[in-house]
A and B are shown apart, each in its own frame.
Chain A
Amino acid sequence: MFNYILRRLLVSIPILIGITVIVFFIASQMPGDAVLAMISTDTPQAEDLVKLRRGQLGLDLPIYEQYGRWVGQLLHGNLGFSFQSGESVISVIAARLPATLELMGVALIIAIILGVFLGVVSALKQYSWLDYSFTFFGFAGISIPDFFLGMVLVYVFSIELGLLPSSGISTAGNAFSLSDNLRHLILPAFALGLARTASFMRYTRASVLEVMNNDYVRTARAKGLGERLVTTRHILRNALIPVVTVIGITLPTLFGGAVIIEVIFQWAGIGLMFINAVTGRDSPVIMGYVLLSAVIVLASNLITDIMYSVLDPRIRYD
């Protein structure tokens, strides 16, 4: 097992290199650059200035040299400096990552609780109207574009009903308070979580159905155990363990989906940062984000595979 993990980690290195090379070169092909993006459309700038600024940011070097510089910095544990604000990319990301993790975490919890609950009920009542309506609900969740769901939530809960704030992480300028933060979190977390509920629900439902047909469940029933006891002690306990692996599968899509939700709710996380960086052609920040997201995806894949083997002894990695 240890060897397996080590090998997977080693294999990730060329993958990461491949990704960064491709993204770096593609990003350099984007029309316009950071210098031009920082100049307002109302006041164009003189050529010599643009040249100076490009030189200052290293944008006048050939692209492979720029990549070399970036990797050089990376090896020194440094991701470069934002073209837009001059801050170091590590601190740019570090300042925003907790917000994204909070959003993703709560969305995941919403998705798990809702998904597992609906999944268990619809499996226990297979082919009932309850099963159908929950299935319908779950699928409706993944069928609504999340930006549209976000817009409607803002419209209903903050503009019309005035119950919750329309955007942001906390009331600007106030000392941080958890309740204030949570109030800002409800809408975006729900918008992000609802779309992921369905996969937990479907997985749970299938898993519960599979366990229900197992011999030991029949044995338990035959022994005369009460239905509730059979359900809780035998079915749920065994059926819910594999559901854990869905978390690993969900993480990358959660990470991607957070971008759109952060834009709609102006949630100051790294998704919003990334979109701003793309608009501003801020390639050090773009690269920082890409590197981070690739690491997250690779890590989730690895964790998923490990969980599979831990949970299902039949799967073995040598």
Chain B
Amino acid sequence: MTISLNIPAAGTEALVKGESLWIKARKRFLRHRLALIGLVILCVMVLLAVLAPVVAIYSPVELNLDAMSQPPSTTHWLGTDTTGRDVWSRIVHGGQVSLSVGLVAVSISTLIGIVIGSIAGYAGGKVDLLLMRVTDMVMAFPSLVMIITVASVLGPSIYNTMLVIGILTWPGIARLVRGQFLSFREQQFVLAARSIGVPPIQIMFRHLFPNVVGTVTVAATFGMANAILQEASLSFLGLGVQAPTPSWGNMLRDAQTFSILEGMPWLWIAPGLMIVLAVLSINFIGDGLRDALDPRSIL
């Protein structure tokens, strides 16, 4: 989610003083110390996940019944689980899964949200009314209810998890984009563009869209944090990523018995900490981005 920091200034021609605004934004972001720390932590996590095959010494799924439930040691940095699998290897591979679930799910929801929101906001009238009712409907679907139902119909798998979370979490972004479009579409620069015959698609994406990039980025960042938590909740209910594929969520679920909570803390501290750290970092980055890009929003 760091890309947004490098959005070229050209994209903001609609606002008064483009260049200085971005420099200001960057300054504001850099002043948010928690966001900076979050960014560093997230980068390390992403790096570890990408390099998982290299940094993980053992296979994340191969078991070793002679080395079960071992506490952290020099051979197994984070110990082994109840079937002798190396926890460190599972953590880094699990990071791949959990972070990509977050990323893919939020990409899906952002994409749908932008398309529906901008069409509704730009077109207005009946189209807006119809699309907003659809949005209301998806919003009124209790997401957990839908996720459980869909996951048990399609069968629980990592792709379905991404898909389901993505498909059900777009209304927030759609509403945001629509709101912004509605307020911008009567402004001078849009009216001017329309009067010289610029096609609507171009107006939407060349003139209006750059104005909502900040808001959408902030919302998407929080959305990603949420998606990672959703994956964990789904795993808790047994509907998330399935064994033996590790994810932080299902590792934490597997540590649910109290004998593990009490006697084998390395089995829950590691995945628990990873989820909390990842979500916390992303949330801080989101908070920093909000201060930087969208200071007036209080979402």
- Which single member of A206, A263, A298 contacts B140 (CB below 8 Å)? A298
A275→B145 CA distance, assembly (Å)? 9
Show 6 A/B contacts (Cβ-Cβ < 8 Å), sorted by A: A139-B283, A143-B275, A143-B276, A144-B275, A148-B252, A202-B298
Residue of A nearest to B279 (CB): A143
Total residues of chain B contacting the partner, CB 8 A: 40
**Which residues does chain A contribute within 8 Å of B232, judged by CB atoms?**
145, 147-148
**Which residues does chain B contribute within 8 Å of A152, judged by CB atoms?**
261
User: Which B residues from 136 to 173 make CB contacts under 8 A with A?
Assistant: 136-137, 139-146, 148-150, 152-153
In the complex, are the beta carbons of A19 and B137 less than 8 A apart? yes
Contact with A along B263-299 (1 / 0, CB 8 A): 0000010001001100110011001000000000010
Known: A19-B137, A19-B140, A260-B236. A31 touches B298 (CB 8 A): no
User: Which A residues from 135 to 157 make CB contacts under 8 A with B?
Assistant: 135-136, 139-140, 142-148, 151-152, 155
In the complex, are the beta carbons of B141 and A278 less than 8 A apart? no
Which residues of A pack against B, CB within 8 Å? 11, 14-16, 18-19, 22-23, 26-27, 29-31, 132, 135-136, 139-140, 142-148, 151-152, 155, 159, 202-203, 206-207, 252, 255-256, 259-260, 263, 274-275, 278, 286, 289-290, 293-294, 297-298, 301
In the complex, are the beta carbons of A301 and B149 less than 8 A apart? no
Report the minimum CB–CB distance from B151 to chain A (whole Å).
10
**Which residues does chain B contribute within 8 Å of A263, judged by CB atoms?**
237
Assess whether B34 is interfacial by the CB under 8 Å rule: yes
A293→B143 CA distance, assembly (Å)? 10
A167→B143 CA distance, assembly (Å)? 26
- Which single member of B133, B233, B258 contacts A155 (CB below 8 Å)? B258
**Which residues does chain B contribute within 8 Å of A19, judged by CB atoms?**
137, 140-141
**Which residues does chain B contribute within 8 Å of A23, judged by CB atoms?**
141, 145-146, 149
A260→B225 CA distance, assembly (Å)? 18
**Which residues does chain B contribute within 8 Å of A143, judged by CB atoms?**
225, 229, 275-276, 279-280, 283
Number of A-B contacts (CB under 8 A): 118
**Which residues does chain A contribute within 8 Å of B252, judged by CB atoms?**
145, 148
Which residues of B pack against A, CB within 8 Å? 33-34, 133, 136-137, 139-146, 148-150, 152-153, 225, 229, 232-233, 236-237, 249, 252, 256, 258, 261-262, 268, 272, 275-276, 279-280, 283-284, 287, 298
A137→B284 CA distance, assembly (Å)? 12
**Which residues does chain A contribute within 8 Å of B249, judged by CB atoms?**
145
In the complex, are the beta carbons of A30 and B149 less than 8 A apart? yes
- Which single member of A139, A203, A294 contacts B298 (CB below 8 Å)? A203
- Which single member of A135, A144, A252 contacts B276 (CB below 8 Å)? A144
**Which residues does chain B contribute within 8 Å of A294, judged by CB atoms?**
140-142
Residue of A nearest to B31 (CB): A127
**Which residues does chain B contribute within 8 Å of A27, judged by CB atoms?**
149
- Which single member of A11, A29, A146, A260 contacts B133 (CB below 8 Å)? A11
A25→B297 CA distance, assembly (Å)? 39
For the complex with contacts A15-B137, A144-B275, A294-B141, 19 further pairs of A-B residues with Cβ separation under 8 Å are: A11-B136, A14-B133, A15-B136, A23-B141, A23-B145, A27-B149, A135-B287, A139-B287, A142-B279, A145-B232, A145-B233, A145-B252, A148-B272, A159-B262, A206-B298, A256-B145, A274-B145, A293-B140, A301-B139
Report the minimum CB–CB distance from A178 to chain B (whole Å).
29
In the complex, are the beta carbons of B233 and A260 less than 8 A apart? yes
In the complex, are the beta carbons of A297 and B140 less than 8 A apart? yes
- Which single member of B34, B143, B153 contacts A256 (CB below 8 Å)? B143
In the complex, are the beta carbons of B136 and A298 less than 8 A apart? yes
A101→B247 CA distance, assembly (Å)? 33
Residue of A nearest to B295 (CB): A206
In the complex, are the beta carbons of B153 and A26 less than 8 A apart? yes
**Which residues does chain A contribute within 8 Å of B133, judged by CB atoms?**
11, 14-15
Known: A30-B149, A147-B233, A202-B298. A139 touches B280 (CB 8 A): yes
Known: A151-B256, A202-B298, A278-B149. A139 touches B284 (CB 8 A): yes
**Which residues does chain A contribute within 8 Å of B229, judged by CB atoms?**
143, 145
Known: A256-B142, A294-B142, A298-B136. A159 touches B284 (CB 8 A): no
**Which residues does chain A contribute within 8 Å of B276, judged by CB atoms?**
140, 143-144
**Which residues does chain B contribute within 8 Å of A278, judged by CB atoms?**
148-149, 152
Q: Which 8 A-B pairs have the closest CB atoms?
A: A206-B298, A143-B279, A143-B280, A297-B140, A293-B142, A145-B232, A147-B236, A294-B140
In the complex, are the beta carbons of A155 and B139 less than 8 A apart? no
In the complex, are the beta carbons of B284 and A26 less than 8 A apart? no
**Which residues does chain B contribute within 8 Å of A16, judged by CB atoms?**
140
- Which single member of B150, B258, B275 contacts A26 (CB below 8 Å)? B150
In the complex, are the beta carbons of A31 and B153 less than 8 A apart? yes
Residue of B nearest to A29 (CB): B153
A22→B168 CA distance, assembly (Å)? 13
Report the minimum CB–CB distance from B168 to chain A (whole Å).
11
Report the minimum CB–CB distance from B160 to chain A (whole Å).
13
Known: A29-B153, A155-B261. A297 touches B280 (CB 8 A): no
In the complex, are the beta carbons of B149 and A132 less than 8 A apart? no
A139→B284 CA distance, assembly (Å)? 8
**Which residues does chain A contribute within 8 Å of B148, judged by CB atoms?**
275, 278
